[in-house]
Amino acid sequence: MLQKIRNEWKTIVQNQIDEMAKGILGEGADVPELTIQVPPKPELGDIAFPLFSYAKVLRMAPNKIAAALKDNIESLSDKPEGELILAGPYLNVKIDVIALADVLYKTIKENGSEFGKNKQYDGKKIMIEFSCPNTNKPLHLGHMRNDSLGMSVSSILMANGADVQRVNLINNRGVHICKSMLAYQKFGNGETPESTGMKGDHLVGKYYVKFAQWEKEDDTAVDQAKAMLVKWEQGDEEVLKLWKTMNGWTLDGLAESYKKTGVSFDKYYYESETYKLGKDKVLKGLEEGVFYKEEDGSVWIDLEDINLDKKVVLRKDGTSLYMTQDIGTAISRHDDYPFDSLIYVVASEQQYHFKVLFHILKSLGYTWAKELYHLSYGMVNLPDGKMKSREGTVVDADELFDSLASIAKKEIQDKERENQVDGLDKTSEAIALSALNYYLLQVSPTKDMVFDSKKSISFNGNTGPYLQYMGARISSMVRMFEEQKDEYASIEFDSKYLTQPEERELIKSIALYPEIVEKAGKDFDPSVICSYLYDLTKLFSKWYHDNKILKAEDKNVVVARMGLSSLVLQTIKNAFPLVGVTFLESM
RNA sequence: GCGCUAGUAGCUCAGCUGGAUAGAGCAACUGCCUUCUAAGCAGUAGGUCAUAGGUUCGACUCCUAUCUGGCGUACCA
């Protein structure tokens, strides 16, 4: 909406510049394209056109160009609503916000939850892979960033018109899986999640830790684990039985964590089922000369010409590697769901892996390989440094979630709002989840971040709970307004009663929302939406604090302000799910 | 060594594909609850945007070099 207004003005100004250039330089002058900016202060208008770059072409000082343009444009009979402002070398426009508010009101009332969506990826099939846990331990904070990103980006893509398929790849085979199995076999005494009351993934994780301890005392431990893997690959009944049992425990536990944190997938892939698929493709590629064989029998690809070194794709004993399996998985995925694009949400430490993977798939002749994208995200560190499993500083996902929820719960109780909220536990968990998602998503994905659990649970400032609180405040007003509806029955929303400076800013901010969704979709970046939401709610908060809404004296003003509030409400309701924030009617 | 990536206020982060005095939050200090939920609002203080050059009318933004940190460079995943 704002975009449209900006472009209208741009066309007008650009045309005038072209005219001036023609007058001075004659036909065919090379005139640079106009850039559009936002003035730093509201008093300076809403749209800015810097004119520096025309000084040389037109042989005039930018201020004079601005003045001349202003005169010329004002004399035009056909121009958009708005007012031109001279600001030195800038020509600015103050748009007609009242008119914008009317359009906005109509649009949002008509479109409701559809407001903000666009067709950028209309008809595109996009597959997105994320989470990809191992079945030897529970989820930790690192997975949570991955999951938050995966869920958020896929929601954002849907809002941009894409047909999205969320997939998970369960890493359920390998030596590391055998380690927890072996430790359980040796020290488990037949424990089960039922007998211990432990969540399955935590129970398995306990034996993974146990293995690490045992490994220090017995140097045959790793060899025993490797031997177990061989047995597993040979289909040894006893090993498979244990594997199935323990995998089941972990997967049950993971399912519970996913459910709690609102993570879901359209399809699960299991490494145990896909690891052999890549092998055939590699052998075929070997025949075609994409790969070569070393004397020891291992298969390689030489990527030195593109600065990616040499990479092994099949072990000398013929078994598959991570790379082998990923080749197969990608191919089978494209068979399952012929995507236009596949996004891998994987930590930045695997950038090299994906460069190589994508290159290999291209070399094997898959044309869709150029549509593969590694959404690389940075590490989650702690205020004291890195998370290290050896030092026991890894933040467990379930524990973190539960502790956040209990803090939220206490807060509700302290404020004596148990009866106001829709279920104490339900609300506390919704607050905890939103706090977590928002904290993880507000940082640009590519950057490493510091996760301070103390700050994450703080409900002040730029946090999920703050956003939820604003949503709840507006909802509360809307409810009260509904109760007194009869008093206002004869009054229509009229934007001309929105005269406060904050109201101007609010209207502009709401109008910006569709562009924000588009940008987030284009960049695969949820943090864009986070910043936007915080700006919008902060703006609302100030306005709401300084002005009476429901209790304004003039009923026309009440209706206009409630109308504006409802637009803010609809906008944040639409934006919240894109960044994993739960909307609460009351908190 | 080589490759990738980052370095903005004490801390955590923004900074719109170069533009008008670099913005928030937290922490610190200070105001504001007989008034629509104070999980709030406002104010004060805090910066030679790692350093040095370069390109440009103009650089936090682009280029080069240097310093510092992270990651990778496994027949682990």
Q: Are A363 and A290 in contact (CB under 8 A)?
A: yes
Is A406 a residue whose pLDDT tops 80?
A: yes
For the stretch A163-194, pLDDT in tens is 999 999 999 988 889 999 999 999 999 999 99
Average pLDDT (A24-51) is: 87
The residue with greater pLDDT, A443 or A31, is A443
DSSP-assigned letter for residue A290: S
Q: Is A382 exposed, middle or buried (0-12, 13-18, 19+ CB in 10 A)?
A: middle
> What is the SS3 assignment for A279?
helix
Other Cβ atoms less than 10 A from the Cβ of A279: the count is 20
Other Cβ atoms less than 10 A from the Cβ of A164: the count is 21
Is the ipTM, as predicted for this complex, more than 0.85? yes
Q: What pLDDT score does A242 carry?
A: 95
Which of the nucleotides in strand B have any atom less than 7 Å away from a protein CB atom?
A: 2-6, 11-16, 19-21, 23-27, 35-42, 57-58, 69-77
Q: How far apart are CA A405 and CA A82, in angstroms?
A: 49
pLDDT grade for A32, boundaries at 50, 70 and 90: confident
Among residues A503, A510, A581, the alpha carbon closest in space to that of A543 is found at A503
Residues 6+ apart with CB under 8 A from A78: none
Among residues A452, A298, A297, the alpha carbon closest in space to that of A384 is found at A452
- Say how many residues make up chain A: 587
Average pLDDT (A68-73) is: 94
Q: What pLDDT score does A233 carry?
A: 82
pLDDT grade for A317, boundaries at 50, 70 and 90: confident
Is A64 a residue whose pLDDT tops 90?
A: yes
> What is the SS3 assignment for A191?
coil
- Say how many CA atoms lie within 13 Å of A182 toward its Cβ: 26
Q: Are A208 and A179 in contact (CB under 8 A)?
A: yes
Identify any residues that bridge with A310 across adjacent strands, giving them in sequence order.
A302
In DSSP notation, A481-532 reads HHHTGGGGTT----GGG--SHHHHHHHHHHHHHHHHHHHHHHHT-THHHHHH
Tokens representing A98 are 């009242």
Closest nucleotide (C1' vs CA) to A543 is B41
Is A388 a residue whose pLDDT tops 90?
A: no
Determine the distance from the C-alpha atom of residue A392 to the mean position of all C-alpha atoms in its chain, rounded to a whole number: 29
Tokens representing A176 are 């590391």
The identity of residue A299, as a single letter, is V
Average pLDDT (A48-53) is: 93
pLDDT grade for A305, boundaries at 50, 70 and 90: confident
Q: How far apart are CA A473 and CA A397, in angstroms?
A: 30
- Determine phi and psi for A341, rounding to 5 degrees: -155, 145
Average pLDDT (A495-500) is: 93
The reply to whether A388 Cβ lies less than 7 angstroms from strand B is: no
Average pLDDT (A465-481) is: 96
Note the CA–C1' distance, A263 to B12, in angstroms.
Answer: 26
Q: How far apart are CA A377 and CA A322, in angstroms?
A: 20
DSSP-assigned letter for residue A585: S
Tokens representing A150 are 């995966």
What region, left, alpha or beta, does residue A116 occupy, with left being phi > 0 and alpha being psi -120 to 50 degrees? left
Q: How far apart are CA A521 and CA A529, in angstroms?
A: 10
Which range (A108-117, A371-380, A388-397) has the least confidence? Answer: A388-397
The reply to whether A352 Cβ lies less than 7 angstroms from strand B is: yes
Q: How far apart are CA A315 and CA A293, in angstroms?
A: 10
**Reported pTM:** 0.95
Q: How far apart are CA A478 and CA A569, in angstroms?
A: 9
Question: What integer best gives the mean pLDDT of chain A?
Answer: 93
pLDDT grade for A321, boundaries at 50, 70 and 90: confident
Note the CA–C1' distance, A191 to B17, in angstroms.
Answer: 58
Note the CA–C1' distance, A376 to B70, in angstroms.
Answer: 14
Strand B near-CB residues (< 7 Å), A 59-118: 87-88, 90, 92
Q: What pLDDT score does A372 carry?
A: 95
Is A25 a residue whose pLDDT tops 80?
A: no
Angle A461-A430-A150 from CA coordinates, rounded to 5°: 85
Share of chain A above pLDDT 90, in %: 80
Q: How far apart are CA A155 and CA A77, in angstroms?
A: 45
For the stretch A78-92, pLDDT in tens is 888 899 999 999 999
Query: Are β-strands A125-129 and A90-94 bridged in parallel, bridged antiparallel, or unpaired?
Result: unpaired
Q: What pLDDT score does A578 carry?
A: 98
The residue with greater pLDDT, A191 or A455, is A191
The reply to whether A270 Cβ lies less than 7 angstroms from strand B is: no
Note the CA–C1' distance, A387 to B71, in angstroms.
Answer: 14
Q: How far apart are CA A431 and CA A405, in angstroms?
A: 7
For the stretch A410-432, pLDDT in tens is 999 999 999 999 999 999 999 99
Among residues A577, A582, A440, the alpha carbon closest in space to that of A155 is found at A577
In DSSP notation, A537-582 reads HHHHHHHHHHS-STT-SSHHHHHHHHHHHHHHHHHHHHHGGGGTPP
Q: What pLDDT score does A537 carry?
A: 96
Average pLDDT (A134-142) is: 93
Note the CA–C1' distance, A457 to B43, in angstroms.
Answer: 26
Strand B near-CB residues (< 7 Å), A 24-53: 35, 37-41, 44, 48, 50, 52-53
Q: How far apart are CA A298 and CA A296, in angstroms?
A: 6
